[in-house]
Structure 1
Amino acid sequence: MAGRMICQLILSLSFLCLVAPSPLNASPHKDLLHRGGALFGAPSNALRAPPQDPGVLGRISSRKGSWGTRVASTVTLLGLTAAMTYVGQRKGLELIVIGAQAGAYNEVAKLLDRGLSLPSSLPSRWLWFVLAFNTGHSWAYGETLMPSLLPSWLHWYWPGRRLVQYLAYVCLLGGSITPKGPGEQLQRQVAHLAGLHFALFLIVGLGSGYVAILKQWGVRPFLLSVLLVVVNDIGAYLVGVPLGKTPLTKLSPKKSWEGFWGAAVLTMASAPLLVRLLRTMLGPAPDDVPRALGGLLSLSDWQALILAAFASFGAPIGGILASAAKRATGTKDFGDSIPGHGGVMDRVDCQLFMSAFSYLFLSCSASPRTRE
């Protein structure tokens, strides 16, 4: 029953996020990004003045062409997500998060390979990911994560895992900085290594917070955090398309201040509503007891408002950072694995920052005893 309710919630609320055009914070300016630029050398005409404003109807109609593709890929993804959630429940959601991390990392790694004109090395690429995944979970998110993912015959490894992980890191790092060509080639190797480390920190380090939340507090805070970012994206689109006039940043000219503030208002207003929706779908949690403002708001409402504030003002930094990376490499999307949406990284950039904040905030404000 719980799995079926979770499926219904995912299908009814996440659908809006995935169908909405991306990027969602829209303003009248067209994308200034041009394909084909090399890393640290985007074409000089990338900062040309924006064209004339086509008007509200023109901006909306220009986005209708790809909606059929978006809807088809959305239905497919949501069907797979609902099936995995129904079969695996909490573990199914954990696998979805880990799969999204792997997909986003693969896209960024391929982008680095192309931008630096280096041959792709799949073994080393995925060795970095596996090592970062194990290290990130055990060092940053506690002892409760990895044992359940290991088969019983590997439990002997667990007490000394950090030493093994560190030695593996030293060996892999030593092999990665060995010169494989002239000085320019070495410069590209070092830039590639630095880029991989930064990508692993963002995607695996920050993104693993959602797995930790599922382990320690259950489905409710995970869905609340994800849906707050969803609402913020949708609100930015709904406000930014008709009202967007002032670009938020040159790095992402389709994001507007009007969309940013409108999304913040909608996200903050939706937080208590999402708490009640999750309570209706999943049943009351042990800490759902009115305590603040004479019983007008419960502890969960206060937590949701703080999470909503970060979803509005902190998580969008992930989208701006992703836009900067795409601008630097002269690409429009990180990939094309999701037809009509771009790549996995294009969909999870804001969720990475939300993931880490939600885990750290819940660590301060909630007890594992409130898990479902």
Structure 2
Amino acid sequence: MDRIILRQRRKRSSASALSTATTVDAADDTMSPPLSNNRLAHPRPPSIIECNSYEDLQSKHDQALAQSTPMKASNHKEERRARKILVRVVSGLLMLLVFCCILYSGHVYICMLVATLQLLLFRELVRVRYNTYFHIIQETIPLFRTTQWLWFSVAIFYTYSDFVVEMIKSNTSLHHLLDYVKWQQPLAFCLYSGTFVLTITTFQQGHIRFQLNQLCWTIVVLCLTVGQLKYIMHNLYNGLIWFTLPILLVITNDIMAYFSGLTCGRKFIHRPFINLSPNKTWEGFIGGWIFTMIISWSLSRYLGQFTWMTCPANSFSLFPSSLECELDPIFLPAQSIFPPQIFELLPAALVKTFPGVVNICAVKNDDSIISTLDLNHPTTLTIQQQLELTPCISGEPTHSHHHFELVLHNVMPVQIHALSLSMFASLVAPFGGFLASGIKRAYGIKDFDSIIPGHGGVMDRMDCQFLMALYTWVHYNTFVKMATISVPKMIYMYNLLTESEQVEVLQRITQLAAEQSSLNV
């Protein structure tokens, strides 16, 4: 039995095993007689004990090697991860520095930055399908990329020309350009019609379905890159804070969600967050939301101190200049700071439970009734009631509910608006990033481009900004601006009227002024 075992182990041994066994044998034979020449020429086979010693050494060596390999791989992985984070941080700081420089340069240069980003975004998104189906496009479809860029040019022209027209209408010093404004819509329509006809003429038999799919993809990309960013220029000229604050809130949410997920990911909630991004966690999503809400409260108050951020602009200047304006009440400490329209969307019983909410009532009494004589019809007497608002008194019959107000002290209204913006930046805007992840997974790419070290392409950084810019415009016009028309626009519309209509408008304004003066007496 021992010979069989010895024979099997001898077959598995190598030259190094023989050398090791010979060394061990020499050490064991120190008390034995000297070896003969025949023994030197033909060394005896190793014993079972010697083979066991070798196998123990080999086993220990293999175990040490097996333990060191994962450690080396782990250390290498940690080094790569740390290097990647360092590159991302440095690139992020450089991007922030460039953004601040452009922000200081003025509104026109910011518009140029946005236009450049739109161009890069469109390029990255259309390249996804172009690279995938290049073998089909190159051989059979003419003017493929030409038609794509023509559609982009038409969309950009319509978007920016429409914004320029609005600026001209809102600035009386630019009303001398109104003669050129009337050609904006016809020119945009001609460009659209020409591009449409050219696109249809490029359809090839056997590839029409693919070309229709590509046309749909181009339209979707235009909706993402141009349609959603159409009103970002309006945000910019309404005040830089409405352009800067949303961008910073999205960046803040991205950073805080990353570190929240890095430190607490899957420690409290083990359920996956979303299948499109397996690395995203509930802890990161919730942590990013909480930290963004906290930071937005202080960040909005800080930015609201500078007129460069708060004052609107209504002119195009290539050189930066200081902006001076009458400070809007939303940038001043106030008591009633929450838009009452939001409370009207909720049940009254629920609103009354909110801390700091005051029920404001309208007072009805005979002293508030004022009679006004119609100037055009002297026999007509108009009865008007002067509105008097006061906090409601329970059981008072002359009090009727008018609206709710949230009363807080030493708080800027813009801070409440910032909470709304941060809520959207944390809960809705990230799904723009999930859409980008879905596109990358569908086409098997890691990043849209490599133009930004450590970050990928422009789309990888701007995927959440589209929805945010559109929501900011909706929020501003719903809860901040309120009025939908301005004095310069009224003058512009007045100049469009005929002489008889202008006389009628002046008579109506005179009548309204007389009624208002009688109310103030």
| TM-score, length-scaled by structure 2 | 0.54
- What is residue 191 of structure 2 aligned with on the other side? 168
Q: 1:60 to 1:256 in 2, by over 3 A?
A: farther
1:297 is aligned to 2:411: yes
- Which segment drifts farther, 243-252 or 269-278? 243-252
Which amino acid in structure 2 is aligned with residue 181 of structure 1? Q
Q: 1:79 to 1:302 in 2, by over 3 A?
A: closer
Identity %: 30
Q: Which has the higher contact order (CA 8 A, sep 6+)?
A: 1
1:144 is aligned to 2:172: no
- Measured in 1, the distance between the counterparts of 2:248 and 2:239 equals 15
- Measured in 2, the distance between the counterparts of 1:230 and 1:58 equals 29
Which amino acid in structure 2 is aligned with residue 244 of structure 1? G
Matches within 5 A, 1:1-372: 62-86=80-104, 88-117=105-134, 118-119=137-138, 121-137=144-160, 143-144=165-166, 157-183=180-206, 185-215=207-237, 217-245=238-266, 246-280=271-305, 285-287=327-329, 288-289=331-332, 290=334, 291-292=336-337, 293-367=407-481
- Matched residue pairs, number? 309
- Measured in 2, the distance between the counterparts of 1:281 and 1:207 equals 25
Which amino acid in structure 2 is aligned with residue 187 of structure 1? R
- Measured in 2, the distance between the counterparts of 1:212 and 1:60 equals 45
Secondary structure of the 1:295 match is: strand
Secondary structure of the 1:331 match is: coil
CA RMSD of aligned residues (A): 3.2
- Which segment drifts farther, 174-183 or 357-366? 174-183
Unaligned runs of 5+ in 2: 1-73, 311-326, 338-406, 484-521
- Measured in 1, the distance between the counterparts of 2:244 and 2:133 equals 38
Which amino acid in structure 1 is aligned with residue 465 of structure 2? Q
- Measured in 2, the distance between the counterparts of 1:366 and 1:102 equals 31
Q: 1:256 to 1:336 in 2, by over 3 A?
A: same
- Measured in 2, the distance between the counterparts of 1:60 and 1:296 equals 48
Q: 1:78 to 1:312 in 2, by over 3 A?
A: closer
Q: 1:242 to 1:74 in 2, by over 3 A?
A: closer
Which amino acid in structure 2 is aligned with residue 272 of structure 1? W
| TM-score, length-scaled by structure 1 | 0.73
Q: 1:319 to 1:58 in 2, by over 3 A?
A: farther
* Deviation of the 1:123 alpha carbon: 3.7
Q: 1:315 to 1:250 in 2, by over 3 A?
A: same
Structure label with greater radius of gyration = 2
Secondary structure of the 1:337 match is: coil
The superposition leaves residues 288-322 of structure 1 with CA deviations (integer Å, 9 ceiling, x where unpaired) of 23123232532111111111111011111110111
* Deviation of the 1:136 alpha carbon: 3.3
* Deviation of the 1:147 alpha carbon: 9.0
- Measured in 2, the distance between the counterparts of 1:263 and 1:59 equals 26
Unaligned runs of 5+ in 1: 1-55
Q: 1:138 to 1:368 in 2, by over 3 A?
A: farther
Runs (4 or more) in structure 1 with deviation over 4 Å come to 56-62, 119-122, 145-148, 152-157, 280-285
* Deviation of the 1:126 alpha carbon: 2.6
